[in-house]
Chain A
Amino acid sequence: MSTAILKPLPRWADVVLLPLLNLLLAFIVSGLVVLAIGQDPLAALNAITTGAFGNGYNIGYTLYYSTNFIFTGLAVAVAAHAGLFNIGGNGQAYIAGLGVILVALPMQFLPWWVTFPVAVVAGAAVGGFWGFIPGWLQAKRGSHVVITTIMFNFIAAAIMVYMVVNVLKPPGVLAPESAMIAAEGRMPKLGTFIPWFRNTDVNFTLILALLCLVGAYILIWHTRFGFAMRALGHNPTATRYAGMSNSRIIMIVMTMSGALAGMVAVNQVVGVQYRLVLDYVADAGFVGIAVALMGRNHPIGILLAALLFGALYQGGNELQYVIPGLSKEMVVVIQALVILFTGAMEGLFRPGLQRIFTTLSPGQKDEAVARNTVKSES
């Protein structure tokens, strides 16, 4: 069996073309599902697009969803660079709400720009703590971080139900939720400054999300810690050899990852709901996995992927009003397919693409041959 010589894909194909192909495939498969149940996929796509971008109101909601997805996407990506798969974003985002509400309620009569930074710190601290424990268990006790973070999602859910129902719920309130934050302590919505957005949920936390993207970029590629973190992700034996302290890196990275996920709580609690409710995370942590995979763990990719998924969620909400029978769960299907194709079925397109690129550029073929020859000597 002679194997053809395949050179690695050009960077742009790896970073742009491959994710787009996978996305396209996810759309086609979802379209087939829609077709199979007797609906028009193009009409559905049209409804989603209009629902997401039709006017300022739609865009406002799209950006609101994107805000959450930037945070959870970054949480997954930062951990991924260190070779860790944090699927505990849901739990970290959820439990961080405790930190946020516990500082926001006492400070509620202070101006929002005082409350906000404190809420950010509190959310980051609690979310970070929820990431730190699995990190610590992985670093010091060798527990698999994936299993531990799954378990921590459920433990967080149990704690939150207890705290909201038994501790935070004011007497006389029936719904399981905390007291409302006074108007002064609430984050202003962007609609107050840009009327075009109207009264949508997008708020100042979006700015924080954009800052986090920039921060993550600097962290990963332009700091000494980022270097160590990426080295660990590629080769933990080499970082041990280099004396970088793998356990320290794992614990710090998981804490940062949890803190990033915790920012979802800031958006939800002081930016949108103004109180702590149950299940406000709505699986944003899992969407973060799709966003990070689709965005190739790069902040720019994550921004674009978060916008895409924000649009899908907002468009999906509108979809059910436009086409009766088509529910927003369509979006969950698309998202699952994106994860499946970009994350677990990479082998679907990559070899074919490599073959195409190798054939299309005979000049590069020699280079590939040379490269493989060099490699084999080692």
Chain B
Amino acid sequence: MTDPVHNGDNPAQRSQRTAAASSDLAIELIKINKRFGAVHANRDIDLKVRRGTVHGIVGENGAGKSTLMSILYGFYTADSGEIRVNGTPHEISDSRHALALGIGMVHQHFMLVDNFSILENVVLGAEDSAMLGPSLARARGELTRLAKEYNLDVNPDAIIEDVSVGTQQRVEILKALYRGADVLILDEPTGVLTPNEADDLFRVLETLREQGKTIILITHKLREIMAITDYVSVMRQGQMVETLETKNTNPEQLAELMVGRRVLLRVEKGPATPGDTFLSVENLVVKDDLGVIRVKDVSFTVRAGEIVGIAGVAGNGQSELLESVSGMRDQTSGTVRLKGTPLSLEGDDGAHRARQAGLAHVPEDRQRMGLVTAFEEWENAMLGYEDDPAYGKGIILDAKAARAQARERIEKFDIRPANERLKTANFSGGNQQKIVLAREMERNPDVLIVGQPTRGVDIGAIEFIHNQIIKMRDAGKAILLVSVELDEIRSLSDRILVMFDGKIVGEADPATATELELGLMMAGVTDKKRAAAPARAAAEGKVP
């Protein structure tokens, strides 16, 4: 279902594409189709990737990018269609076959064995013989060579779980190169990286391109496309919408192609009228499950009637901050006050006490945390509040009362299908999020903590959810918003705090702060000169 308005090629682009002789093409996909049950994940996909280029594939979550690349890599088999590698058709039956054809993939979630050394990870699956010794020796030499050639320095004997995420990604790239990959697929490679690590990655990719490798970069971040790619293909709802030369396009056009209609980036909201301080966080220190300090002495306040947004690259301590303030995760030190009263949040029922004190929480990951997807809707509508007298007397639960209340909320929040007896897993992402929002907002809490409110939510629901959050603010509630989508932070927040490496590194006024300023703060750069670094500057680009 391509939008005809955007489907028309301009003549220059068309001639360019037909001019591409097939020998120039490292990869050619023709009419690829893939279904998962009723879901048509890839529909008649055509794609041509020229040798020695960086080719970006953009699209929203669920557009079918990862599926397409998994087919090219042999992890899934296409239902129909043809794959040509260097002009020759191949049936890629499994990953081993893809590797043999020189196709390597760096997955979004790294495929590494945590308690293995880097060397063992590189060798796994590419051993020379039944004995390990010679393979390891050869790999050690080869790693040194590759490290020099592509600037991919690693310590081969380091254990994966001890090294940084950036290093782990290098190991993934080395794995592919060690197997002789000429075509390297990277699936959302920067999602887990700090901006500095992302810069390093882009430098490595540039080196690879110079050496004649072909790179396919899957991302939903337009700034990366603009910064590094030569060509860009846009996917939407399982279909290939358009392939463009990067220098002939711009982020606005790509955004439109991705979404299929003009994106409403600004949320309608009046000026904030902040009142008393409702939430204050003082000198908070939080460790993650592995005992690493992820929140480092953070202090801030949120006042009644304002939305404070926390911006930052994923993995800079935002999740731990949210989990700690909402009582899910023990804090190492510090104080969280609600209307001046310190909250006691220790223990695994901390979240219960936080709720009782008037602090509601819409979690980052609704399926993993916010819902029991195997439960019926009405059961989830009271999750966390099951002790409420409204749901029964004493220890007994009054299912009728709970269902009646669930029905009211379904109507109020326009949750579809409007059936409180339906299993929660059978609701769409947006409707699941509405179930959580309804539950947390209808309690009329003083403070609402919201993490990634619109992740994996369809466009229509996004507007609804944003408006609900604004409504809460206008009703005089204090709202703490965490999102990795900078646009969302900028359009909803009344104040922006930027988090980097576990610390609040700056505060900004969303009305005046530029994308560049925020981006630099998110990268932990306080020195303005760093901004001149070429990759960074290009990456900042002009995103709406």
> Which residues in A have some Cβ–Cβ distance to B below 8 Å?
1-3, 5-6, 218, 222-228, 230-231, 234-235, 237-238, 240-248, 368-378
Contact = CB atoms under 8 A, between A and B. Distances in A.
A375 B426 contact: yes
Say which size band chain B's interface belongs to: 35 or more
A377 B429 contact: yes
Contact of A234 (B36, B372, B427): B372
Contact of A378 (B35, B383, B456): B456
B386 A378 contact: no
A223 B396 contact: yes
A244 B428 contact: no
Given A224-B395, A231-B383, A243 B370 contact: no
A6 B37 CA distance: 8
Contact of B384 (A242, A247, A369, A371): A242
Nearest to B366: A378
B369 A237 contact: yes
B349 A241 contact: no
Nearest to A228: B386
B375 A376 contact: no
B355 interface: yes
Given A224-B386, A375-B426, 5 more contacts: A224-B387, A227-B379, A244-B352, A376-B38, A378-B427
Nearest to A245: B349
B375 A234 contact: yes
Most buried by A among B77, B79, B372: B372
A369 B38 contact: yes
A238 B435 CA distance: 14
A226 B374 CA distance: 15
B36 A3 contact: yes
19 contacts: A1-B77, A222-B397, A223-B396, A224-B386, A225-B395, A231-B372, A234-B372, A235-B372, A240-B328, A241-B384, A243-B349, A243-B352, A246-B348, A372-B37, A374-B426, A376-B37, A377-B428, A377-B458, A378-B428
Most buried by A among B38, B326, B327, B386: B38
A235 B397 contact: no
B439 to A, nearest CB: 10
Contact of B349 (A225, A234, A248, A370): A248
Q: Which 3 A-B pairs have the closest CB atoms?
A: A243-B352, A243-B351, A378-B429
Contact of B62 (A5, A222, A237, A377): A377
B39 A376 contact: yes
The majority secondary structure among interface residues of chain A is helix
Contacts of B354: 243
B370 A238 contact: yes
Nearest to B427: A374
Contacts of A245: 347-349, 352
A2 B79 contact: yes
Contact of A3 (B37, B351, B368): B37
A227 B397 contact: yes
A243 B327 contact: yes
Contacts of B387: 224
Interface in B307-330: 326-328
Nearest to B347: A245
A378 B367 contact: yes
A5 to B, nearest CB: 5
Contacts of B429: 377-378
Contacts of B372: 230-231, 234-235, 238
B396 to A, nearest CB: 6
B425 A375 contact: yes
A247 to B, nearest CB: 6
B73 interface: no
A378 B37 CA distance: 15
Nearest to A226: B397
A5 B35 CA distance: 10
A230 B427 CA distance: 20
A247 B350 CA distance: 12
Given A224-B387, A375-B425, A241 B35 contact: no
Contacts of B352: 242-245
Nearest to B425: A375
Contacts of A247: 348
A374 B428 contact: yes
Contacts of B379: 227, 231
A378 B429 CA distance: 4
A240 B429 CA distance: 21
Given A235-B373, A245-B348, A5 B38 contact: yes
Contacts of A5: 37-38
Nearest to B327: A243
B432 interface: yes
Nearest to A242: B384
Given A234-B372, A242-B352, A2 B35 contact: yes
Nearest to B33: A2
A225 B383 CA distance: 12
Nearest to B79: A2
Interface in B349-367: 349-355, 361, 363, 367
B99 interface: no
Contacts of A6: 37
Interface string B6-39: 0000000000000000000000000000011111
A282 to B, nearest CB: 35
Contacts of A231: 372, 375, 379, 383
Interface string B412-428: 00000000000001111
B320 to A, nearest CB: 14
Contacts of A224: 386-387, 391-392, 395-397
B228 interface: no
B371 interface: yes
Interface string B447-487: 00000000010100000000000000000000000000000
Contacts of B458: 377
A235 B372 CA distance: 6
Most buried by B among A234, A241, A248, A372: A241
